[in-house]
Amino acid sequence: MFAEGANLLLEQSLNDFDLDTRRRALVALLEQSHATPVWRHIANMHCHTFFSFNAFGYSPARLAWLGREEGLELMGIVDFDVLDAVSEFLDACDLTGVRASAGIETRVYLPEFATREINSPGEPGVCYHMAIGFTSSEVAPAAQKIVDELRQQSAQRNRGLVARVNAYLDPVTIDYESDVLPLTPAGNATERHIVSAYIQAAQSQAPDPVAFWAERLDMPAARVRAQMDAGAAFQNMVRSKLMKRGGPGYVQPDSDTFPRVERLHELAELCYALPCAAWLDGLSEGEQAMEELLTLLVGKGVVALNIVPDRNWNIADPKLQAIKRQKLYEVVDLAQQFALPLNVGTEMNSYGQKLVDDFDAEALAPVRDAFLDGAYFIYGHTVMQRWLGMGFQSRWARDQLPVRQARNRFYAAVGRCVPPGAAGRRMLQTVHQDMAPAEILAALDAQ
């Protein structure tokens, strides 16, 4: 019982805002853990950390520990607008034995689709977009300039949002610096942090919080009380009512609200990372033209495609489930035609999302192999770039594997045979720039 309590305290310390505290807690947990991990052939390559927002409050180290405890063979983190989690997560996964990758997500503007909604509902020309396969939080000055731009633009949008919502909720108001930023470990707030700050403010500033929210959300008090008791559901509802389209905090974006897609690609290329498109569900006007969209994005440098599988098959309505499932299969086929490896995961940045997809679900059987191939590919690129400077975007890769399909297969094969951590790094010591891809795989297989 004492040991269980000690482990629980250490796991809680994994989410401390202090990096050294997190590191010490992870080392202590590993020292006390005598069980050999049981690795399952599953992956979650899209997990947000608390450096943007994680619904469970998980840090990069906590996610690495989760991977070990749950037997997730492969995991990837993706945070909005920052690279703060990259080094911590990769280092932590070296210790826990998880095959890891790390990336960034933001919203960008795509002028060629200015009149069509893509994957950001109600916002024509705007799309969620990613870059994956980073190897460090420390980047060159030119890349850091772009990261700083993303962080500053996000903060500017947040301050505008807070000003508009403050005006609507007055006399319940918050201060961005003193009420929102302390909820984050490194000053990168999201709408969900802002929602939490408003809910806390209403509890302390409104004489009757239920009556206050009932009036401001235009809802019966009984429903508000029930939602407040549900916790997470109430936060989602407040965000939807106040900050999404039609709410008092919402402003329709235009061509200057978000950076152009090329700017994120520039960051990826400077860091030898991988520009990655993001697919929602195939139902928007833009995603109904997915072949046209991918042709455009691949021409701009995209080399991978992100999918959140659960929302495209795990649906109660049978008709909608059938439609979305078919769209899922179609986009996977299209990605293969474009030689785009898949980055799949649950996101974990909204309440109710799973820790990992159900890879044994019948609905995922036709696409399971493609999902895993993509996960091994991303990890394979990551270890080759991290330790040897021979990742997917390297000069070596472009010279030796000019055809992208062959390059994809090579990095997926590396991902399968190179273990994480010190053991994998020792294996890669036999690899050098003068070797051909076949020689490298043969050398790795021989170990």
Q: DSSP of 2-70, one letter per residue?
A: HHHHHHHHHHHHTT-S-HHHHHHHHHHHHHH--SPP--EEEEEEEE--TTT--TT---HHHHHHHHHHH
Can you give the pLDDT at residue 231? 74
Can you give the pLDDT at residue 3? 55
Separation between Cα atoms, residue 310 and residue 342, nearest integer Å: 14
Sign of CA dihedral 436, 139, 66, 1: positive
Separation between Cα atoms, residue 328 and residue 80, nearest integer Å: 24
- Asked whether 203 and 209 are in contact (CB, 8 A), the reply is yes
- Whether residue 6 has pLDDT greater than 80: no
Separation between Cα atoms, residue 178 and residue 307, nearest integer Å: 36
Q: How many CA atoms lie within 13 A of 90 on its CB side?
A: 24
The tens digit of pLDDT for each residue in 393-433 reads 999 999 999 999 999 999 999 999 999 999 999 999 999 99
Give the model's confidence band at 7: pLDDT under 50 very low, under 70 low, under 90 confident, else very high: confident
Least confident of 1-5, 67-71, 309-313, 425-429: 1-5
The tens digit of pLDDT for each residue in 435-447 reads 999 999 999 999 8
Sign of CA dihedral 317, 318, 322, 323: negative
Can you give the pLDDT at residue 244? 92
Q: Give the mean pLDDT of 386-395.
A: 98
Tokens of 413: 């094969």
Strand partners, 100: 75
Give the model's confidence band at 138: pLDDT under 50 very low, under 70 low, under 90 confident, else very high: very high
Give the model's confidence band at 33: pLDDT under 50 very low, under 70 low, under 90 confident, else very high: confident
Q: Give the mean pLDDT of 256-275.
A: 97
Please give the domain boundaries of the chain with CATH numbers for all domains: 36-139+271-445 (3.20.20.140), 150-243 (no CATH)
Edge-to-edge strand list for the sheet holding 342-344: 40-47, 72-80, 99-109, 126-132, 274-279, 304-307, 342-344
Strand partners, 101: 76
- Whether residue 5 has pLDDT greater than 70: no
Strand partners, 104: 79, 131
What are the angstrom distances between the C-alpha of 236 and each of 3, 270, 370?
36, 36, 32
Q: Which helix or strand (DSSP H or E) is residue 230 part of? A: helix 221-230
Q: Give the mean pLDDT of 177-185.
A: 97
Q: Give the mean pLDDT of 224-229.
A: 90
Tokens of 277: 């498109």
- Asked whether 261 and 109 are in contact (CB, 8 A), the reply is yes
Cβ-in-10-Å burial (0-12, 13-18, 19+) of 329 comes to middle
Give the model's confidence band at 4: pLDDT under 50 very low, under 70 low, under 90 confident, else very high: low
Q: How many CA atoms lie within 13 A of 152 on its CB side?
A: 7
Can you give the pLDDT at residue 1? 43
Separation between Cα atoms, residue 189 and residue 85, nearest integer Å: 14
Separation between Cα atoms, residue 174 and residue 172, nearest integer Å: 7
- Asked whether 93 and 42 are in contact (CB, 8 A), the reply is no
- Whether residue 26 has pLDDT greater than 80: yes
Preceding peptide of 309 cis, ω within 30°: no
Q: Give the mean pLDDT of 367-385.
A: 98
Q: Which residues contact 152 (CB under 8 A, 6 or more apart)?
A: none
Nearest to 277 by CA among 259, 266, 258, 290: 290
Concatenate the DSSP letters of all residues of 327-360 into one string. HHHHHHHHHHHTT--EEE--B--STT--SS--TT
- Whether residue 2 has pLDDT greater than 50: no
Nearest to 46 by CA among 85, 95, 87, 14: 85
Nearest to 375 by CA among 72, 167, 53, 17: 72
Can you give the pLDDT at residue 447? 85
Dump strand ranges (E) for 180-336: 274-279, 304-307
Q: How many beta carbons lie within 10 A of that of residue 313, not counting itself?
A: 21
